[in-house]
A and B are shown apart, each in its own frame.
Chain A
Amino acid sequence: MSDDPRHAPRARHGRAPDVFRPGGWVSMKEYADHETVDFVIVGTGAGGATLACKLAEYGFSVVALDAGPYFRPLEDFASDESEQTKLYWTDDRIVDGDNPLQLGSNNSGKAVGGSTVHFAMVSLRFRPEWFKARTKLGYGADWPIDWREMWAYYTEVEQALKISGPVNYPWGPPRPRYPYRAHPLNAAARALARGCEALGIGWTETPLATLSAPRGLAHPCVYRGFCVTGCSTNAKQSALVTWIPRALSAGAEIRDLAMVGRIETDANGLAAGVHYHRQSKWHFQKARNVVVAGYAIETPRLLLNSANDKFPDGLANSSGLVGKNLMAQANQAVWGEMDEEVRSYKGPPSLAITEHWNYEDEGKDFFGGYAYMSQGPLPQLWANTQATAHGLWGARLVEEMKRYNHVVGLKIVGEMLPQEHNRVTLADELDQYGLRIPRVTYSWCDNDKRLIDHSIAFMSRALGAIGTKNIWVQEDDTCHLNGTARMGDRPDSSVVNADCRSWDIPNLWICDGSVFPTVGGANPSLTIQAIACRTADRIRTLSRLGEIRLN
């Protein structure tokens, strides 16, 4: 059948994989390394792919590089948890601190499309007040962007991804109708709804980036339940099947299996291009502007690894904040067993949600908020949870696993506060490219712990109220990484401005979750894409004003 996209690049010789047809190709514009392009973008996930698409559509020349392979989901994706770990970033990394993070699965991706290829598709808007968390809610930091501007960009992304969602969203200011109808609830989602109703709080169908009706060559979701290991039917509206095909048709080039190791700066202290590793050789792509979109670990790692005589502490780092204020999101769960068969492996894992504790400020002894969602772990994930979080092994584990089809669970996405000592630094060890590997240091603060305790107590009541037995708590889990290159109003307290532009190097941009000053209690992908759309519009405006380097 096809070549192995993990061993040799697919996007070259003027063509890129057609993700909608097994073995298919689409034409692709190509640039030579010595041609200076308007924008070279490092990373093709939620931030990089969206920006590449929008900038190409605005007429800029764009090359977007990704360290990972270029998959065709229809032929390359198995229904298999082990095989699909090929979507994760599993290069060498060291974790430490009081609460070392687990990396690899739910917080990284190494593929064209980034982690959107295996994300859970939960597409939430932030609560408006979070954009002024310091001023309005008294914690964290303010964003330099107004929520009303974001509201319009959220709409753009929801339309671009044909988000399926409820007719009326119960929380926050009015928003337009979701483009596609909500998905039906599975039993796990109905359990969440029953619990919310028992405790008198709201719930709704989760807005999801997976199709509930046909779209072009993509079929609606078939509820196979392998969402977080990669969708093999293209129902999932990942960057790989949405922004990237659009970017290609608009003339962008995608370079797969291209690992960027260093950004070079010129005599004027401006970014000159990127050194990248592809097909066993180092290359240099010249560019008028460099955009870093590698997510909250690889972005600061690249900026720090690019240190040179002029910028000895790394690029864009005069504030000293590159790598600092890393924020995970809390991902604690409460699990139990119902008499009924639940079989939560069917359908997207999080079909129902409550954002009650994101929008309700009374009755909290902590800053920030959390959402919680229904769950549908596949067997390996569930067994690993039972073993490492519940402490089961031996006959107890094997017997407990036989109750799999009766398991029900609720899991939070919870806000954690920015702290400078939660950070990404460089270790001395080298990876397969000869680059220093990242060290990721993470410790929960007291506020994080209070939020977690509140959520566990509440979700335990919710499960108890619907007759769940053998309830237990999964205490140590996190998801989504943000921060490490925060945006702000001042060069001494942020890395980039509201346009995702470096304060120090005006032709260096950062466009991914790294720029978040706070994370809220909502999955970040919709916000990352909305910010990328805004950045593209700002770049177009600034270029018309002659304020961007384009020659």
Chain B
Amino acid sequence: MLDWKAERGAGEPYPGYDVLAKWRSPSWNDKTREVVAARLKAADEPRFFTREEFETLIAVADRILPQPAPRPPIPVAALLDQKLQDGVMDGYRAASLPRDGEAWRRGLRALDAEARARHDHGFAKIVESDRDDLLRCCEAGELKSPAWDGMPSQTFFKHRLLRDLVLAYYCHPISWSEIGWGGPASPRGYVRLDFNDRDPWEAAEAKPGHEADALRVNRNVR
């Protein structure tokens, strides 16, 4: 079931480390287990977005946060869909942006329209380098299709698109393991706080020439 973990290692800073191995440890309280369990069950089918918008979103997320094989991908688009469906918002917004959900719908439709105008295909159907070019134009505020309906593409990119996708990716335990973060920590916190100090329930970093040591230690992190 977890074969990909055995393969992971080469080039990764925390080979074999899995924050979920601490699920039943004193580092995870009941409330944390409850909210992370709900997150791990994120539905594949969109509830907030239409199927078409959702496909565009997947294609965007894939370029903002490219995911390495062989590990299972973090369902970034599904996590964002769930958040918007649940009405979880930042609340504040630039005067030029509509509320979070409407900004997303309009932004995805506009990116799709821009792709069709340039490449005769929707955003999800164009090649990766063309997607990156379009996203860079979006970031620079150079996209002006009427589909934006007055919303500046630059503001949408920085304050909605980039922010929301990054938060979705780094709310998932797979990303926590990837960066070697300790993860949830309550009621058990930490004892060793100094430079190069790690508690036995923290990830061990692979040092050059000693990757196997880190792998062995990380398999026993609980």
Contact = CB atoms under 8 A, between A and B. Distances in A.
B89 interface: yes
B208 interface: no
Given A82-B39, A233-B187, 6 more contacts: A78-B29, A82-B171, A95-B95, A379-B179, A393-B63, A398-B68
A394 interface: yes
A79 B182 CA distance: 11
B180 A405 contact: yes
A277 B78 CA distance: 34
Nearest to A89: B91
B191 A388 contact: no
A433 to B, nearest CB: 14
Nearest to A107: B92
B85 interface: no
Interface residues of A, number: 66
B91 A79 contact: no
23 contacts: A1-B30, A80-B32, A80-B35, A82-B83, A83-B35, A92-B99, A93-B91, A94-B93, A100-B94, A103-B91, A187-B197, A223-B190, A223-B191, A224-B186, A232-B29, A233-B186, A340-B195, A346-B182, A346-B193, A379-B175, A379-B176, A380-B171, A394-B66
A90 B91 contact: yes
B181 A404 contact: yes
B189 A223 contact: yes
B91 A92 contact: yes
Nearest to A187: B195
A403 B35 CA distance: 27
A81 B182 CA distance: 13
A473 interface: no
Nearest to B204: A341
A235 to B, nearest CB: 9
B71 to A, nearest CB: 12
B30 A75 contact: yes
B24 interface: no
Contact of B95 (A94, A104, A226, A380): A94
Given A186-B193, A224-B190, A347-B193, A95 B167 contact: no
A222 interface: yes
Interface string A348-392: 000000000000000000000000000000111011101110000
A487 B62 CA distance: 52
A380 B192 CA distance: 23
Interface string A178-191: 00000011110010
A346 B91 contact: no
Interface of A: 1, 75-83, 85, 88-96, 100-104, 184-187, 190, 221-226, 232-233, 338, 340-343, 345-347, 378-380, 382-384, 386-388, 393-395, 397-398, 401-402, 404-405, 439-440
Contacts of A338: 195
B36 interface: yes
A81 B184 CA distance: 10
B34 A222 contact: no
A161 B198 CA distance: 31
Interface stretch (B110-118, B143-151, B158-166, B210-218): B158-166
Interface string B190-210: 111111111000110100000
Contacts of A382: 170
Contacts of A340: 195-196
Contacts, number: 201
A79 B94 contact: no
Interface string B34-46: 1110010000000
B120 interface: no
Nearest to A103: B92
A185 B194 CA distance: 7
Contacts of A79: 27-29, 32, 183-186
B90 interface: yes
A-B pairs with lowest CB-CB distance, top 9: A222-B189, A90-B91, A79-B184, A224-B189, A103-B92, A224-B185, A186-B193, A346-B190, A78-B32
Given A190-B194, A346-B193, A387-B163, A104 B180 contact: no
Nearest to B97: A94
A222 B195 contact: no
B91 A104 contact: yes
B178 A102 contact: no
Given A75-B31, A89-B91, A185-B193, A225 B132 contact: no
A382 B170 CA distance: 9
A519 B31 CA distance: 37
Nearest to B191: A223
A104 B12 CA distance: 35
Contacts of A225: 182, 185, 189-190
B51 interface: no
A226 B186 contact: yes
B127 interface: no
Nearest to B62: A394
B194 A383 contact: no
A405 B180 CA distance: 7
Given A225-B189, A233-B187, A379-B176, A402 B166 contact: no
B65 interface: yes
A89 B90 CA distance: 9
B21 interface: no
A104 B190 contact: no
Contacts of B99: 92
Given A223-B189, A345-B182, A405 B205 contact: yes
Contacts of B158: 388
Interface in B55-107: 63-68, 83, 88-95, 99
Given A78-B184, A226-B186, A91 B91 contact: yes
A76 B186 CA distance: 12
